[in-house]
Chain A
Amino acid sequence: MTTPSTTSSGSGGVTGAGSSGSPRSGLPGQRGSDSKPHRPADYRPREITVGFLVGRLIALGLVAALLVFGLPPLIRTDNWIGVGVLVAAGAGIAYLYLSRRHVPLKYLLPGTVFLVVFQLVPVILTVSTAFTNFGDGHRGTKEEAITAIQTSSLEQVAGAASYNLSPALKDGKLVFLLVPVDDKGEPLLDQAKVGTPDGLTELPGLTDANLSLTKQLSEVPGYDILSKPDASARGDEIANFAVPTEQGAIKSSGLSKAVELTSVRDYDAACDCVKDTKNGKTYTADAKNGYFRSADGETIAQGWKVNVGLANFTRIFTDKTVSGNFFAVFVWNFAFAAASVLTTFALGLLCALALHSPRMRGTKIYRVIIILPYAMPSFAMLLVWRDMFNKDFGLINNLFGWHIDWLGEPMTARMSLILVNLWLGFPYMFLVATGALQAIPRELTEASSIDGATAWQGFRRVTLPLLLVALTPLLISSFAYNFNNFNAIKLVTDGGPYAIDNATVGATDLLISYTYRLAFGGIAQLGFAAAVSVIIFTLVAIMSIIGFRRSRSLEEVYS
Chain B
Amino acid sequence: MRRRTVFAALGAAASASALAACGSKDEPTATPSKDKGNGKLVIWADTKRSAVLKKYADQFGKDNGVTVEVKEISENLQQVFVTASQQGSGPDVVVGAHDWIGNLVQNGAIDPVQLSPQQKSLFAAAAVKAVTFNGQIYGAPYALENIALVRNTDLAPTAPASIEDLVKAGQDLKKSGKVSEILLDQCGASGDAYHIYPIYSSGGGSLFGLTSAGDPDPNNVTVNSADSIAAFTKLKELGEKGAGALKTSIAAENVTATFTAKKAAFFITGSWNIADIKKAGIKYDITPIPGFSGGKPAQPFLGVQAFFVASKGKSKAMAQEFVANYVTNKEVANALYAADPRPPALLAAQDDAKAADPDVAKWLDAGKDGLPMPAIPAMNEIWGPFGNAEVAVIKGGDPKTAAEAAAKAINDAIAKKK
Using CB atoms and an 8 Å cutoff, list the residues of chain A in contact with chain B: 16-18, 45, 48, 53, 56-58, 60-61, 64-65, 68-69, 72-73, 75-78, 90, 94, 98-100, 135-137, 139-140, 144-145, 147-148, 151-152, 154-156, 162, 181-185, 227-233, 235-236, 238-239, 251-257, 259, 261, 291, 299, 301-303, 319, 321, 383, 387, 390-394, 405, 407-408, 493-494, 496-498, 500-504, 506, 517-518, 521-525
B124 within 8 A of A: no
Neighbouring B residues of A525 by C-beta, 8 Å = 416-417
With both beta carbons as reference points, the residue of chain B lying nearest to A227 in the complex is identified as B65
With both beta carbons as reference points, the residue of chain B lying nearest to A97 in the complex is identified as B12
Given known contacts A181-B116, A521-B384, A387 and B405 CB-to-CB distance under 8 angstroms: no
Neighbouring A residues of B325 by C-beta, 8 Å = 253-257
Using CB atoms and an 8 Å cutoff, list the residues of chain B in contact with chain A: 1, 3-5, 8-9, 11-12, 15-16, 18-20, 23, 27, 30-31, 34-37, 39, 63-66, 79, 82, 86, 88-89, 102-103, 105-108, 111-119, 121, 134-136, 189-190, 247-251, 253-254, 258, 311, 315-318, 320-326, 377-378, 380-381, 383-385, 388-389, 391-392, 395, 397-398, 401-402, 404-406, 408-409, 412-413, 416-418
Interface contact A151-B311, CB-CB below 8 Å: yes
Given known contacts A64-B15, A72-B30, A77-B88, A255 and B23 CB-to-CB distance under 8 angstroms: no
- How far is B136's CA from A504's CA once the two chains are assembled, in angstroms? 34
Interface contact B15-A496, CB-CB below 8 Å: no
- How far is B406's CA from A94's CA once the two chains are assembled, in angstroms? 61
Neighbouring A residues of B31 by C-beta, 8 Å = 72, 75-76
Measured CB to CB, the closest approach of chain B to A122, in angstroms, equals 15
Interface contact B19-A147, CB-CB below 8 Å: no
Interface contact B251-A390, CB-CB below 8 Å: yes
SS class, residues of chain A in contact with chain B:
mixed
- Residue among A238, A239, A408 making CB contact with B248, cutoff 8 Å: A408
Interface contact A235-B37, CB-CB below 8 Å: yes
A-B pairs with beta carbons under 8 Å apart, 12 shown: A18-B1, A53-B11, A56-B8, A61-B12, A61-B18, A98-B9, A139-B82, A253-B325, A254-B318, A387-B253, A393-B249, A522-B383
Measured CB to CB, the closest approach of chain A to B310, in angstroms, equals 12
- Residue among A61, A94, A154, A392 making CB contact with B19, cutoff 8 Å: A61
With both beta carbons as reference points, the residue of chain A lying nearest to B112 in the complex is identified as A152
Neighbouring B residues of A493 by C-beta, 8 Å = 189
Measured CB to CB, the closest approach of chain B to A67, in angstroms, equals 9
With both beta carbons as reference points, the residue of chain B lying nearest to A397 in the complex is identified as B249
Neighbouring A residues of B323 by C-beta, 8 Å = 254
Measured CB to CB, the closest approach of chain B to A400, in angstroms, equals 16
- How far is B408's CA from A302's CA once the two chains are assembled, in angstroms? 26
- How far is B35's CA from A78's CA once the two chains are assembled, in angstroms? 10
Neighbouring A residues of B79 by C-beta, 8 Å = 524
Neighbouring A residues of B398 by C-beta, 8 Å = 500
The 3 A-B pairs at the shortest CB distance, nearest first, are namely A229-B65, A254-B321, A148-B108
- Residue among A148, A162, A497, A523 making CB contact with B381, cutoff 8 Å: A523
Neighbouring B residues of A319 by C-beta, 8 Å = 416
Neighbouring B residues of A261 by C-beta, 8 Å = 114
- How far is B119's CA from A259's CA once the two chains are assembled, in angstroms? 12
With both beta carbons as reference points, the residue of chain A lying nearest to B180 in the complex is identified as A392
With both beta carbons as reference points, the residue of chain A lying nearest to B36 in the complex is identified as A236
Measured CB to CB, the closest approach of chain B to A284, in angstroms, equals 15
With both beta carbons as reference points, the residue of chain A lying nearest to B30 in the complex is identified as A72
Interface contact A257-B37, CB-CB below 8 Å: no
Given known contacts A18-B4, A68-B23, A390 and B249 CB-to-CB distance under 8 angstroms: yes
- How far is B10's CA from A415's CA once the two chains are assembled, in angstroms? 66
With both beta carbons as reference points, the residue of chain A lying nearest to B319 in the complex is identified as A254
Given known contacts A148-B311, A236-B37, A496 and B388 CB-to-CB distance under 8 angstroms: yes
Interface contact B317-A236, CB-CB below 8 Å: yes
Interface contact A98-B106, CB-CB below 8 Å: no
Given contacts A57-B15, A255-B64, A501-B401, 13 further A-B contacts (CB under 8 A): A76-B31, A136-B82, A136-B107, A162-B118, A181-B116, A232-B65, A232-B318, A236-B317, A255-B325, A501-B402, A501-B404, A503-B406, A522-B380
With both beta carbons as reference points, the residue of chain B lying nearest to A252 in the complex is identified as B317
- How far is B109's CA from A160's CA once the two chains are assembled, in angstroms? 28
Neighbouring B residues of A387 by C-beta, 8 Å = 253-254
Interface contact B381-A61, CB-CB below 8 Å: no
Measured CB to CB, the closest approach of chain A to B131, in angstroms, equals 13
Interface contact A94-B16, CB-CB below 8 Å: yes
Measured CB to CB, the closest approach of chain B to A175, in angstroms, equals 16
Given known contacts A151-B111, A185-B118, A301-B106, A501 and B15 CB-to-CB distance under 8 angstroms: no
Neighbouring B residues of A405 by C-beta, 8 Å = 248-249
- How far is B29's CA from A316's CA once the two chains are assembled, in angstroms? 50
Given known contacts A232-B65, A301-B102, A392 and B249 CB-to-CB distance under 8 angstroms: yes
Given known contacts A57-B15, A151-B311, A393-B254, A500 and B249 CB-to-CB distance under 8 angstroms: no
With both beta carbons as reference points, the residue of chain A lying nearest to B382 in the complex is identified as A522
- How far is B138's CA from A70's CA once the two chains are assembled, in angstroms? 34
